[in-house]
Amino acid sequence: MASNIQLDASGGYSFRMPSDDITVEAVLDTPYSVLIDENIENGSISISTNKAAQGSVVKIVPTANDGFVLEKISGSGVDIKAGVDALGEKAYTFTMPKHDVTLTAAFISNADISAAAPSGAAVKYGTAAGVYDLDESPKYTAAGTYTVYYRITADGYETKTGAAQVIISTNGDVDLNGVIEKADAALLLKYLGGTATLNEKQLAAARMTDSTKEKPDMLDVIAIIAIVEAPQS
């Protein structure tokens, strides 16, 4: 190894050639890649840099789509810390290790509030703004639109409050499989024609046009078809 390397006035390096062959080696601060998982759904993350040297700090900014909240950010072989940056914005950072890092994030529907809280957080719920007297989100079964208020507290975090709407409807999902489809109208038609039976819950789901009438009828079939045929927003 050449041990007499000198920085010259022009910024170059020079050394006195010894009598033997030599190897010159440059050791750079090799940057590693910061990659983002392509399969992130319901939101995205951006990063302050996609190349970083070991020991440098990389910042991550998550953006949730409407109706979703960030549940979790993680990266391969790194410990991601949540904090607040110099501008007071919530920021996620990690220290670059000596290898490439792939980041991923999970976003969940904000209807599922309890799962959105960071681990160790306490979540309280209420049915009026400012009143957080329930340990669990209230459950509704009667048709209607309800607002659930929530407050999340955790050590080291700003207390967060918010509200989410819960809509319970007699919605035309006659077969109760979670989606309103032509099959629901078909099943109701069969019921009306006497070739299928429906239980109480299914009958309630089928009574779309007037929840007080005793039995669903043809108007409900039409109402279900109207929903199925409606353009998706």
Question: In the complex with Ca ion, which residue's Cβ is closer, 71 or 184?
Answer: 184
DSSP output for 7-25: E-TTS-EE----SS-----
CB of 170 to Ca ion, least distance (A): 13
Question: In the complex with Ca ion, which residue's Cβ is closer, 81 or 182?
Answer: 182
> What residues between 149 and 208 interact with Ca ion by CB under 5 A?
173, 175, 177, 184
CB of 187 to Ca ion, least distance (A): 8
CB of 219 to Ca ion, least distance (A): 18
CB of 131 to Ca ion, least distance (A): 36
CA 216, CA 45: separation in Å to the nearest integer? Answer: 48
CB of 105 to Ca ion, least distance (A): 32
Question: In the complex with Ca ion, which residue's Cβ is closer, 71 or 173?
Answer: 173
CB of 195 to Ca ion, least distance (A): 18
Q: List, in order, residues 6 or more apart from 210 with CB less than 8 Å away.
A: none
Length of the chain: 233
CA 123, CA 64: separation in Å to the nearest integer? Answer: 20
| Residue window 35-74: x/- pattern of binding to Ca ion, with contact defined by CB under 5 A | ----------------------------------------
150-185 in b/e form (b: 16+ CB < 10 A) is bbbebeebeebeeebeeeeebbbbbbeeeebbeebb
CA-to-CA dists, residue 191 to 175, 186, 204, angstroms: 11, 9, 13
CA 76, CA 78: separation in Å to the nearest integer? Answer: 6
Size of the site for Ca ion (CB under 5 A): 4
| Residue window 99-138: x/- pattern of binding to Ca ion, with contact defined by CB under 5 A | ----------------------------------------
CB of 179 to Ca ion, least distance (A): 5
Neighbour count for residue 66 (Cβ, 10 Å): 7
CA 155, CA 205: separation in Å to the nearest integer? Answer: 44
- Residue 164: what are its φ and ψ, rounded to 5°? -140, 145
Question: In the complex with Ca ion, which residue's Cβ is closer, 6 or 199?
Answer: 199
Establish if 220 lies at the interface with Ca ion (CB under 5 A). no
Question: In the complex with Ca ion, which residue's Cβ is closer, 17 or 176?
Answer: 176
Question: In the complex with Ca ion, which residue's Cβ is closer, 117 or 188?
Answer: 188
CA-to-CA dists, residue 224 to 43, 124, 170, 175, 179, angstroms: 32, 37, 11, 12, 11
Question: In the complex with Ca ion, which residue's Cβ is closer, 80 or 204?
Answer: 204
Contact residues: Ca ion, CB under 5 A: 173, 175, 177, 184
